[in-house]
């Protein structure tokens, strides 16, 4: 299978590392021509995960998205959700026909308020059987350091999903497969929002005791939202029997609860970092400039707020985080209101 990677940030670079560590040649779209020249000459990305060195014989670097799409069988989408539509705007409408798409995006496209699969179906006529997701918990920095991590691959076609996952399995990365394409995407979106809240609490100097209560309540709120969406298999402690005797995935699995925990607690989490700045008194604009990377939870908080007008789930924590970021509710006042929701 010929892989193409769309994006050159830290997560795109980590995924490119995993694929090439397994000997897979990749087509790699990189927007910045200076980065392409640097990679060719110095064998590493100068801006993200610069400690990762590549066998450039496996890299086909290109500044044209259309050419990378045309030369690939499976496209790994790793551009921040806010820039995805603009990245694809010059791609031919039939370009994805017969192509597999592996989304590594943990966000909703903000201009359309659509998941990537919904956007590709609307704009390019992509079909559900050709769409797959790769979700965490997995920080790019730990992939670079080759610390053991787990990735969950989701797709409607389980055999095809396992085939894609096999290309990412290494000594430092275990893969899990499920069919919950919608559930894993919304869980990833929500956990970024809750990580902003965890960061705000840290910036306001709440302690670990409070943080554990906050995250436990966020986990419950997220489960309620997923149930409203019609997502199944999220009952903790309940498993469907499997032929291989392994547990079936439920809400306590790594891609749901696990990713929420690490994103709320880890110092690598850019959403937690962004929230921490807000808690310390930064404005949204100042925090964005200081972070210099995209915190997906910021746009996601508004997208989920709008989405919930249809779903009508009980998500007061996520809604208050939205109001702090988008409606100028004072962060200390907002956190006091969140305190009243917690049990």
Q: Which residue has the higher pLDDT, 16 or 252?
A: 16
Residue 194 and residue 166 in one domain: no
Q: What percent of the chain is modeled with pLDDT above 90?
A: 91
Separation CA 42–CA 46 (nearest Å): 9
pLDDT at 100 over 70: yes
199 shares a domain with 170: no
- What lies within 8 Å, CB to CB, of 98 at 6+ separation is 130
Do 48 and 171 share a structural domain?
yes
What is the per-residue pLDDT for 235? 79
Nearest alpha carbon to residue 105 among 91, 87, 126: 87
Q: Same domain, yes or no, for 26 and 146?
A: yes
Q: Is pLDDT above 90 for 234?
A: no
Q: What is the pLDDT of residue 238?
A: 79
Q: What is the mean pLDDT of residues 124-131?
A: 95
Distance from the Cα of residue 190 to its chain's centroid = 10
Residues 157 and 236 in one domain: no
75 plus 19 within the same structural domain: yes
CA 95/CA 25 separation, integer angstroms: 21
Q: How far separated are the first and last CA of the chain, in Å rounded? A: 49
Residue 245 has pLDDT above 70, yes or no: no
- Residue 49 pLDDT: 95
As given in the structure block, the two tokens for residue 218 are 């966020």
Mean pLDDT of 115-138: 95
Task: Judge if 71 and 13 occupy the same domain.
Answer: yes
Domain boundary among 179, 204, 233: 179
Q: What is the mean pLDDT of the chain?
A: 94
What's the pTM?
Answer: 0.94
CATH number, domain with residue 101? 3.40.50.720
The yes-or-no verdict on residue 200 having pLDDT over 70 is: yes
Select from 145, 179, 213 the last residue of a domain.
179
Domain count, the chain: 2
Here the contacts of 124-128 (C-beta below 8 Å, separation 24 or greater) are: 124/88, 124/91, 124/93, 124/94, 124/95, 124/96, 124/97, 125/93, 125/94, 125/96, 125/97, 126/96, 126/99, 126/101, 128/156, 128/181
Nearest residue to 72 (alpha-carbon basis) of 126, 173, 125, 1: 1
As given in the structure block, the two tokens for residue 297 are 């939870």
Domain that holds residue 269: 187-341
pLDDT digits (tens, 9 = 90+) for 294-315: 889 999 999 999 999 999 999 9
Residue 317 and residue 262 share a domain: yes
Picking from 132, 154, 179, the residue at the C-terminal end of a domain is 179
* pLDDT at residue 32, as a whole number: 92
Indicate the pairing of strand 131-135 with strand 149-155: antiparallel
Both 75 and 170 in one domain: the answer is yes
Whether the per-residue pLDDT at 242 is higher than 80: the answer is: no
In this structure, the answer to whether residues 153 and 78 fall within a common structural domain is yes
Quick one: pLDDT at residue 145?
94
Residues 209-226 have a mean pLDDT of 97
Supply the CATH number for residue 253's domain. Answer: 1.10.1040.10
Same structural domain, 154 and 199 = no
pLDDT, residue 89, reads 93
223 CA to centre of own chain: 18
């Amino acid at each position: 299978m010929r892989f193409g990677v769309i994006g050159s940030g830290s997560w795109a670079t980590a995924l490119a590392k995993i694929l090439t560590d397994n000997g897979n040649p990749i087509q790699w779209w990189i927007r910045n021509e200076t980065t392409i020249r640097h990679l060719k000459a110095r064998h590493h990305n100068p801006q993200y995960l610069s400690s990762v060195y590549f066998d450039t014989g496996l890299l086909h670097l290109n500044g044209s998205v259309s050419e990378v799409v045309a030369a690939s069988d499976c496209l790994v989408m790793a551009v921040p959700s806010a820039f995805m539509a603009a990245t694809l705007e010059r791609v031919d409408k039939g370009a994805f026909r017969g192509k597999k798409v592996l989304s590594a995006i943990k966000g909703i496209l903000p201009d359309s308020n659509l998941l990537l699969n919904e956007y590709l179906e609307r704009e390019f006529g992509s079909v559900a059987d050709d769409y797959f997701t790769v979700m965490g918990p997995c920080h790019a920095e730990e992939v670079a350091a080759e610390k053991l991590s787990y990735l969950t691959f989701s797709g409607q076609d389980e055999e095809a999903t396992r085939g894609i996952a096999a290309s990412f399995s290494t000594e430092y990365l275990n893969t899990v497969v499920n069919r919950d394409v919608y559930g894993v995407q919304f869980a990833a979106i929500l956990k970024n929002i809750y990580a902003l809240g965890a960061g705000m609490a840290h910036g306001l100097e709440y302690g670990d005791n409070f943080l554990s209560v906050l995250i436990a309540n966020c986990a419950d709120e997220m489960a309620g939202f997923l149930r409203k969406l019609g997502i199944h298999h999220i009952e903790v402690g309940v498993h469907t029997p499997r032929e291989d005797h392994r547990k079936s995935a439920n809400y306590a699995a790594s891609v749901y609860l696990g990713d929420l925990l690490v994103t709320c607690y880890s110092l690598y989490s850019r959403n937690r970092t962004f929230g921490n700045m807000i808690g310390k008194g930064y404005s949204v604009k100042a925090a964005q400039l200081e972070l210099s990377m995209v915190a997906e939870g910021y746009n996601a908080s508004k997208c989920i707020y709008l989405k919930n007008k249809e779903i009508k789930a009980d998500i007061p924590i996520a809604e208050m985080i939205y109001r702090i970021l988008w409606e100028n509710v004072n962060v200390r006042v907002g956190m006091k209101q969140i305190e009243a929701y917690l049990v």
